A and B are shown apart, each in its own frame.
Chain A
Amino acid sequence: NAGVTQTPKFQVLKTGQSMTLQCAQDMNHEYMSWYRQDPGMGLRLIHYSVGAGITDQGEVPNGYNVSRSTTEDFPLRLLSAAPSQTSVYFCASSYIGLNAEAFFGQGTRLTVV
């Protein structure tokens, strides 16, 4: 009964380093997405996917890359970390459908120094 699993929970990076945030879901959801959460700004959509092999940009995609090779996994890559990418990152999944409930992981707290 895992739901949406994100790793790692915490990460500190130096400016310019790259890393991958992992996200896996076991509910066979077609739709997966990545959000970043910043104080007072709610959650903003970075990238999303409607199925394996299909990804698209959200509201704030710059500096991030995604791929979706399987239904279960949707990793988020930071290509060259910047202090502005210090944030809490959430992965979410749902069935395709305008009113579908989104299920969220517990988040990854990333600090870029």
Chain B
Amino acid sequence: AQSVTQLDSQVPVFEEAPVELRCNYSSSVSVYLFWYVQYPNQGLQLLLKYLSGSTLVKGINGFEAEFNKSQTSFHLRKPSVHISDTAEYFCAVTLMIKAAGNKLTFGGGTRVLVKP
């Protein structure tokens, strides 16, 4: 079975500082990787995804993530955060096998609090 671990449950960060959210996964088969963001009192929306090709993926709102196959990691970064980036961030995977369908496996989430 696959699993996703987000190493930090909360990350406080000052406005305009960089932030990195760590995600590691475990799976016996190859996976597709996703980062979703949940703003307060809202549903989740897709930030970015890694399917294949370049290991550096750029997403919306200035976020990017790097896939590292040897370390089974998919860390999310932003060089300069804004107050509006305060949200919970979820790393997720789907298995690269047809039988698994669209089922997403999520990590526990990382709550980012941007301070002025």
Write the residues of chain A forming the contact surface with B, with a CB cutoff of 8 angstroms.
4, 31, 33, 35, 40-45, 48, 50, 58, 90, 92, 94, 96-102, 104-107
12 A-B interface contacts by CB (under 8 A): A40-B9, A42-B6, A42-B108, A43-B44, A43-B90, A43-B106, A90-B43, A96-B101, A96-B102, A98-B98, A102-B102, A106-B41
Residues in B whose Cβ lies below 8 Å from that of A33: 102-103
Do B103 and A105 touch (CB < 8 A)? no
In the bound complex, what is the Cα–Cα distance between A106 and B39 (angstroms)? Answer: 10
Residues in A whose Cβ lies below 8 Å from that of B105: 45
User: Looking across the interface, which residue of chain A has its beta carbon closest to that of B44?
Assistant: A104
Residues in A whose Cβ lies below 8 Å from that of B107: 42
Residues in A whose Cβ lies below 8 Å from that of B92: 42
In the bound complex, what is the Cα–Cα distance between A75 and B33 (angstroms)? Answer: 28
Do A99 and B43 touch (CB < 8 A)? no
- Closest chain B CB from A26 CB (angstroms): 15
Interface size on B, residues (CB 8 A): 30
- Closest chain B CB from A71 CB (angstroms): 15
In the bound complex, what is the Cα–Cα distance between A97 and B32 (angstroms)? Answer: 11
Do A99 and B106 touch (CB < 8 A)? no
Do A31 and B44 touch (CB < 8 A)? no
Quick one: given A40-B109, A102-B46, are A31 and B101 in contact (CB under 8 Å)?
A: yes
- From A48, A50, A99, A106, contact of B51 by CB (8 A): A99
In the bound complex, what is the Cα–Cα distance between A104 and B32 (angstroms)? Answer: 19
In the bound complex, what is the Cα–Cα distance between A42 and B6 (angstroms)? Answer: 10
Do A43 and B104 touch (CB < 8 A)? yes
